[in-house]
């Protein structure tokens, strides 16, 4: 049984890595995509907004589908669609083809994100200790690899499809083979019967009221994350007076510190508890935004973005884990619904900072995500263990029935 868990954890980690790499390859080559298809600056926001909107639709659809099929099945087939859609983005010739590829990418990535985190939460329940941050650490590693490969493609002026094809050719079969060992958890694990829990998680207003604090935390975390990804380079160059070359560094620093924070985060949860880790993460992230807002020069600004990576990195994985603990009998439905607010935060964050920066100042705009991240402290108690207790000295026995390993391809 331990081998089943280990194989399940390794195969799911591969899935997180692949998604991190693929997503980074898409978002870091947006200027090249715009040039290839002749998308105007006025039309570009519509294309970019379509992906998270459709991903939200995909996540909502996944909430309904997991009532009938296992999350592992959804993950197994949504991941190849995401990769092939990326290849379609690189190989198309017209705006219509770009639109079709982005529609497929958006819908599939919503199902992919939701099902990946469903399996991560169920594996954490089976392990009986915090492992969720490790999956997101691997996602960050994939993002760093994907961004590095994108830089290589841009540096050597490779066609988009030439940059994307080797990555898809390697990761797609690897993900399909790895999907043989996904482990579907027992959604009925925890207090109450699985039928009762399922009814609670099927869409009742009471569940959403209980889940709402976590939805807000997810939104605030992604507003912070999108602020860094979309505005760090412009802020360093235009506000803090850095060179164009130095302005590319903050996001890379942010990604590296995100990886480090997540790699160590599970240890912190086991020793200190999720509530303490989330509170510390929120305070560090808020401190990062404050440093960025008052920085006299680019190097102090770089320090702020470093703090942001260390602080924000723990919030999203722990929010998914908290939803799984809150609804142990209906965690899949809760996670699918919570995942929608990932995209809500992404949609709000970049336009919000841009509008405030133009109307007021970019320094002042950085204070808004700072305040929103601090609101997380109000909801920190929602991260407290309930049925499950993941931490040193508080681990519950490993689940005897860890669920079903996926059948073969």
- Encoded tokens for 11: 């195969």
Cβ pair 321, 350 in contact under 8 A: no
Same domain, yes or no: 256 and 364: yes
26/112 Cα distance (integer angstroms): 16
pTM for this structure? 0.88
Cβ pair 254, 309 in contact under 8 A: yes
Domain final residue, candidates 123, 155, 184: 184
Same domain, yes or no: 250 and 153: no
Sign, Cα dihedral of 215, 230, 315, 317: positive
What radius of gyration, in Å, describes the C-alpha atoms of the chain?
20
Please tell me the predicted confidence (pLDDT) of residue 186: 63
CATH number at residue 235: 1.20.1250.20
16/1 Cα distance (integer angstroms): 23
Cα-based angle 235, 240, 243 (whole degrees, multiple of 5): 90
> In which domain, by residue range, is 359 found?
192-403
Same domain, yes or no: 166 and 259: no
Asked if the structure places residue 321 within a domain, the reply is: yes
Domain final residue, candidates 163, 184, 205: 184
Same domain, yes or no: 248 and 162: no
Same domain, yes or no: 371 and 252: yes
Asked if the structure places residue 409 within a domain, the reply is: no
Region 81-97 average pLDDT: 96
CA distance readout (Å), 171 to 7, 84, 200, 286 = 18, 11, 38, 36
Same domain, yes or no: 177 and 197: no
Asked if the structure places residue 129 within a domain, the reply is: yes
371/312 Cα distance (integer angstroms): 13
Please tell me the predicted confidence (pLDDT) of residue 252: 84
Structure confidence at residue 209 as a pLDDT band (50, 70, 90): confident
Residue 405 forms beta bridges with which residues?
A: 183
Asked if the structure places residue 408 within a domain, the reply is: no
Same domain, yes or no: 124 and 218: no
Domain final residue, candidates 166, 184, 202: 184
Same domain, yes or no: 175 and 198: no
Same domain, yes or no: 22 and 164: yes
Would you say residue 114 has pLDDT above 90?
yes
119/336 Cα distance (integer angstroms): 11
Same domain, yes or no: 118 and 250: no
Give the number of domains in the chain. 2
Region 202-214 average pLDDT: 68
Condensed to tens digits (0 to 9), the pLDDT of residues 304-353 reads 999 999 999 999 999 999 999 988 888 999 999 999 999 999 999 989 99
Region 369-377 average pLDDT: 97
Structure confidence at residue 181 as a pLDDT band (50, 70, 90): very high
Q: What is the 3-state secondary structure (H, E, C) of the chain?
A: CHHHHHHHHHHHHHHHHHHHHHHHHHHCCHHHHHHHHCCCCCCHHHHHHHHHHHHHHHHHHHHHHCCCCCHHHHHHHHHHHHHHHHHHHHHCCCHHHHHHHHHHHHHHHHHHHHHHHHHHHHHHHHHCCCCHHHHHHHHHHHHHHHHHHHHHHHHCCCCHHHHHHHHHHHHHHHHHHHHHHCEECCCCCCCCCHHHHHHHHCCCHHHHHHHHHHHHHHHHHHHHHHHHHHHHHHHHHHHCCCCCCHHHHHHHHHHHHHHHHHHHHHHHHHHHCHHHHHHHHHHHHHHHHHHHHHCCCHHHHHHHHHHHHHHHCCHHHHHHHHHHHHCCCCHHHHHHHHHHHHHHHHHHHHHHHHHHHHHCCHHHHCHHHHHHHHHHHHHHHHHCCCCCCCCCCCCCCCCCCCCEECCCC
Average of per-residue pLDDT values in the chain = 88
Pick from 109-113, 126-130, 238-242 the range whose average pLDDT is largest: 109-113
What residues contact residue 104 under an 8 Å CB cut-off, 6+ apart?
Answer: 81, 84, 85, 88
Asked if the structure places residue 43 within a domain, the reply is: yes
Asked if the structure places residue 238 within a domain, the reply is: yes
Would you say residue 136 has pLDDT above 50?
yes
Same domain, yes or no: 342 and 293: yes
Cβ pair 323, 334 in contact under 8 A: yes
Same domain, yes or no: 57 and 179: yes
**How would you classify residue 45: left for phi > 0, otherwise alpha for psi between -120 and 50, otherwise beta?**
alpha
């Amino acid at each position: 049984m331990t081998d089943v868990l280990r194989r399940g954890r390794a195969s799911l980690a591969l899935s997180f890595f692949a998604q991190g790499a693929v997503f980074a390859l898409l978002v870091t080559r947006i200027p090249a995509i715009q040039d290839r298809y002749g998308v105007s600056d006025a039309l570009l926001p519509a294309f970019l907004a379509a992906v998270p909107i459709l991903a939200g639709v995909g996540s909502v659809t996944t909430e309904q589908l997991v009532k009938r099929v296992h999350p592992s099945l959804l993950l197994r087939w949504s991941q190849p669609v995401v990769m092939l859609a990326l290849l379609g983005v690189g190989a198309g010739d017209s705006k219509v083809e770009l639109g079709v590829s982005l529609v497929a990418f958006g819908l599939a990535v919503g199902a992919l994100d939701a099902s990946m985190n469903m399996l991560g939460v169920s594996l954490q329940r089976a392990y009986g200790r915090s492992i969720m941050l490790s999956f997101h650490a691997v996602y960050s590693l994939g993002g760093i690899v994907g961004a590095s490969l994108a830089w290589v493609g841009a540096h050597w002026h490779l066609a988009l499809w030439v940059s994307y094809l080797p990555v898809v050719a390697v990761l797609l079969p690897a993900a399909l083979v790895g999907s043989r060992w996904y482990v579907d958890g027992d959604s009925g694990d925890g207090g109450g019967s699985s039928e009762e829990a399922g009814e609670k998680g099927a869409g009742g207003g009471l569940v959403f009221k209980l889940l709402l604090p976590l939805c807000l935390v997810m939104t605030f975390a992604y507003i912070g994350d999108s602020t860094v990804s979309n505005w760090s380079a412009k802020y360093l160059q235009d506000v803090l007076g850095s060179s164009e070359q130095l302005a590319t560094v903050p996001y890379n620093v942010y990604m590296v510190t995100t990886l480090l924070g997540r790699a160590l985060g599970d240890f912190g949860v086991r020793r200190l508890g999720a509530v303490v880790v989330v509170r510390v993460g929120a305070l560090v992230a808020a401190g990062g935004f404050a440093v960025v807002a008052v920085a006299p020069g680019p190097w102090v600004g770089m320090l702020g973005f470093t703090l942001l990576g260390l602080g924000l990195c723990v919030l999203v994985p722990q929010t998914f884990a908290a939803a799984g603990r809150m609804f142990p009998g209906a965690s899949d439905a809760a996670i699918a619904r919570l995942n929608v607010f990932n995209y809500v935060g992404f949609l709000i964050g970049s336009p919000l900072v841009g509008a405030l920066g133009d109307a007021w100042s970019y320094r002042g705009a950085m204070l808004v995500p700072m305040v929103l991240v601090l609101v997380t402290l109000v909801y920190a108690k929602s991260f407290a263990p309930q049925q499950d207790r993941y931490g040193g000295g508080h681990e519950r026995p490993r689940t005897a029935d860890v669920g079903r390993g996926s059948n073969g391809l």
